[in-house]
Amino acid sequence: MSGADSIRMEKLCYSIGGRKILEDFDFLLERGVNRTILGISGAGKTTILKLLLGLLQPNSGKVYLGDVCITGASEAAFMQLRKRIAIVFQGGALFDSMTVGENVGYRLFEEGRLSQSEIEQVVREKLSFVGVEPALDLYPAELSGGMKKRVAIARALAADPEYIFFDEPTTGLDPIGVYNICNLMQRLQAGGTTTLMVTHDLATAFATSERFTFIHQARMIFDGSETEMKTSENAEVREFLTPTEDSLFV
């Protein structure tokens, strides 16, 4: 069962270069239930986000938004979908040739629904929400890593999405930067946005999510709460939470 607004993967298979990344993968993201996807590097976490957004097409299986199957849908249908779901990519993916303000406002500008001054107002509001309004006229090259991440979040917020996907939003940040991203996510959640995060940062995951999905060797091997994960008997989950000498690569 799923709510009318949920996002769902059903028996999804995805391979690249002859390697199975996802096999018979079932996944449910319910509105209001903030979730983190965990798994070792290369497990396929970013791939899941891209498949959910239709940026990649599965070999088989389906993605649903509510009751509507979006697998193989038209580009117009995906444009509608991407108004409801925004993504903050690993690394930010800002446009280097645009200022911070232009980066945040470009989607609204392309849509053409709002006037220039209305767009400027939204841009300022979103930049102020993430605490980087003074950077409005700077270029991405002039920003620190933490500022880039916050601008990328402001850009994702521009269309007031229902869901925001965060791909490793705290990687490379100092503890204060991590704290700020955590706080930002919590404020978004309090405002009704549902977050789906991919991260290796367990403290941020536990501070911002109620449910956890663990992916290992193309399959979901755990799905549950923080307590369930911390008491899981699954060997891979236990090793991920508490690596031992057996985890050494050498």
Ligand X SMILES: Nc1ncnc2c1ncn2[C@@H]1O[C@H](COP(=O)(O)OP(=O)(O)OP(=O)(O)O)[C@@H](O)[C@H]1O
Q: Give residues in contact with ligand X (CB under 6 A).
A: 16-17, 21, 39, 41-47, 90
Q: Using the minimum distance from each CB to Mg ion, give the nearer residue, 46 or 209.
A: 46
Of ligand X, Mg ion, none, which one sits near residue 39, judging by CB under 5 to 8 A according to partner kind?
Answer: ligand X
Of Mg ion, ligand X, none, which one sits near residue 16, judging by CB under 5 to 8 A according to partner kind?
Answer: ligand X
Helix axes 145-157, 175-190, angle to 10 degrees: 10
166's tokens: 């965060």
Q: How far is the CB of 36 from ligand X (least distance, A)?
A: 13
Sign of CA dihedral 182, 183, 184, 188: positive
Q: Using the minimum distance from each CB to ligand X, give the nearer residue, 99 or 209.
A: 209
Q: How far is the CB of 237 from ligand X (least distance, A)?
A: 16
113's tokens: 């629904």
Q: How far is the CB of 31 from ligand X (least distance, A)?
A: 24
Distance CA 69, CA 51 (A): 13
Q: Using the minimum distance from each CB to Mg ion, give the nearer residue, 46 or 170.
A: 46
Q: Under rule CB under 5 A, which residues in 27-66 are in contact with Mg ion?
A: 46
Distance CA 140, CA 227 (A): 40
Q: Using the minimum distance from each CB to ligand X, give the nearer residue, 47 or 99.
A: 47
Q: Under rule CB under 5 A, which residues in 135-164 are in contact with Mg ion?
A: none
Of the candidates 78, 101, 59, 68, which has an alpha carbon nearest to the alpha carbon of residue 2?
68
Q: How far is the CB of 200 from ligand X (least distance, A)?
A: 7
Instruction: Give the helix, strand, coil percentages of the chain, each rounded to 5.
Output: 40, 25, 35
Q: How far is the CB of 56 from ligand X (least distance, A)?
A: 9
Buried b (16+ CB within 10 A) or exposed e, 35-65: bbbbbeeebbbbbbbbbbbbeeebeebebbb
Distance of CA 20 to the CA centre of its chain: 22
Cβ(66)–Cβ(73) below 8 Å: no
Q: How far is the CB of 112 from ligand X (least distance, A)?
A: 33
Residue bearing tokens 């006037």: 115
Query: Is residue 180 within the footprint of Mg ion (CB under 5 A)?
Result: no
Q: Using the minimum distance from each CB to ligand X, give the nearer residue, 44 or 177.
A: 44
Residue 236 DSSP label:
H
Binding site for Mg ion (CB under 5 A): 46
